[in-house]
Structure 1
């Protein structure tokens, strides 16, 4: 039984949500074409299953109740080993994994003479990826200003930069693998059809993109400067424990960030012009590594070139947003939160309502 394991390790903010959802949506047709996407159960679809497996491998425990990820990695490995053909494992939090986790993953997923391990890394230009990374950190509960984030980024400190530094990620994950088994997929430039990214990713799976015809509507959508700053201020008013609860993700990341606040988005968050030379130098370092390593490139390396602001676009500083614009975003958020609170079934509230009704009937009788 021959097996080709394709391990997609990131990077964050490179269309991973879209790719993972499209894999899930087309799991049956892909399986018919020999490409398998392991899932936990009908209640634990592949994206969630792979997320928990990655958490377990990394020894982390967030995004759910304590212990929710325990045993998930072993379960994923068992499911992979039961399959022949191509098996896909995908989650972006794997990108900056420590050496011991990387060695374990490679050893267990690539075990056996008939098993061939491939590593895939999707890469995006820094001018788009860095602003998206800051927004994502705020959605996850971080409270730092854009400038504080950028200062740490320039020194390679935040988790996001360890995850998006292409040479260090692929130097670690690709160690010991033939370069033709390490794939860099470039994210198409702004404005391109999302299907292009799917087509490129399918090349690493060695499958016809038509085997996954159902298009995904999922996207980790971007916010504007006012909305992101408002969320950051909200994070400052909440305790850390609250920001780590699963309900925080449900309300903030999904309902507010993905649904409510994107409808009236303010100016987009951009890379400050002062950092463009730094981003260009970092990109050149990436490209030198890619060319020298001999890894497989799917797409166009020119897609990684960070572009300056358009001539008619003015840079908007997320740390200097007018109070009125933040207030507008806050009122939109408050309206959505109030509507959600009224919609949800609260057993205690229902008991009180029923008691009041019964008392009213008694008084009337």
Structure 2
């Protein structure tokens, strides 16, 4: 008889994973009272960060830190899981495109005798996924144009494309598992979210077989979207600073967190959208996904029809690679102003220490 049930949520990126992971963190203690555990390393490390480092270690990556900073994190997570009975939730979206050897290790380490292993994957239509992934890649330091990114996406080459390919991801992660232990959560479209803002969370609760009442604290965290002008300015800043090859935490944090997540969010420039001529391709991919899911018999939470892109919006499409220089100049000056104010604040060591203490306190409160 199983003494442990492990739900391994492997992505996909840009499907509300930040929100889901933060809500799990905020309600970790309440969930534990009901036998649902979200492992973490120490009081100063959130479960989301703990799982991120573990995923990096499993994949042999060093994103966002010095070489070797995640070493040993996977084994630490496995030890935590093996010491726990009841239900355990492990979540990080970078696991989606893992290779066969890495997947085999993860399933061996987290499964085994006495454990019932489940795989959870969330997906949404490519008309929303593809533009969101380009924005995210720019935030992370990439310098490619939207046109080049789209061409490579159709070829299935970028990391995001591999993470989004539902049949491949679930085919690999779900191998040797009964279909009822493979859970696909479709991300609700905007019209559904407007009617019920927590619909995505409710779907995850059904996939994880937990009562939503066990996690009442909501999260306000999400990866914010940028408009075409703001994304273009960050892309050009990446090129000027050679950011993709000179990953230094100090200015990486300034660009990704302070600019792309705060100072340049909520402006009025046009959103990044899929070009109208790519909608037939997106629809073909959706049909391929839906056919695979129906044939596989995996557990679906949501509506498979939500994976279709639908028709293009009525308003004219704006090319993110052709933003007028004057519009970029306004955004660039605002970005410069925000960075200047931040530099002035950081010059004061007392203020820097206070900010660090507040950050640590916020992490503790979120657990």
Structure 1 length-normalised TM: 0.92
Q: Is the 8 A contact 2:226 2:266 kept in 1?
A: no
Equivalent in 277, 297, 300 of residue 297 of structure 1: 300
- 1:73 is aligned to 74
User: Residue 7 in 1 paired to residue 8 in 2?
Assistant: yes
Residue 328 of structure 1 deviates from its aligned partner by: 1.2
Per-residue deviation at 1:242?
A: 6.4
Q: Compute the displacement of 1:263 (Å).
A: 2.9
* Contact 1:35 1:205 (C-alpha < 8 Å) held by counterparts: no
In 2 relative to 1, CA 328–240 (structure 1 residues): closer, same or farther, beyond 3 Å? closer
State the partner residue of 1:152.
152
Matched, 1:44 2:45: yes
For structure 1, the 5+ residue unaligned runs are: 351-365
Structure 1 residues 208 and 17 mapped into 2: Cα distance closer, same or farther (>3 Å)? same
Q: Per-residue deviation at 1:26?
A: 0.4
- 1:241 and 1:307 map into 2 onto residues whose CA distance is 34
Q: Which residue of 2 aligns with 1:125?
A: 125
Aligned counterparts of 2:292 and 2:233: Cα–Cα separation in 1: 39
Q: Which aligned segments of 4 or more residues in structure 1 are displaced greater than 4 angstroms?
A: 240-243
Separation (CA, whole Å) in 1 of partners of 2:29 and 2:249 = 29
1:59-111 C-alpha deviation (Å, 9 max, x unpaired): 11121122110000000000001111110100000000011000000011002
Question: Is residue 309–residue 315 contact of structure 1 (8 Å, CA) maintained in 2?
Answer: no
1:184 counterpart residue number: 184
| Correspondence 1:268 to 2:271 | yes
Note if contact 1:29-1:211 (Cα within 8 Å) is conserved in structure 2.
yes
Three-state SS of the structure 1 residue aligned to 2:259 is helix
- Whole-angstrom CA distance in 2 between matches of 1:90 and 1:246: 24
- Aligned residue among 276, 280, 283 for 2:283: 280
Q: Structure 1 CA distance, aligned partners of 2:283 and 2:177?
A: 29
What is the correspondence of 1:332-343 to structure 2 with a 5 Å cutoff? 332-343=334-345
Matches within 5 A, 1:1-365: 2-112=3-113, 114-191=114-191, 192=193, 193-240=196-243, 243-311=246-314, 313-345=315-347
Say if 1:241 and 1:303 are closer, same or farther in 2 by CA, change over 3 A: closer
Q: Choose 1 or 2 for highest CA Rg.
A: 1
CA contact (8 A) 1:6 1:86 kept: yes
CA 1:249 to 1:208, structure 2 compared with 1: closer, same or farther past 3 Å? farther
What is the aligned residue count? 346
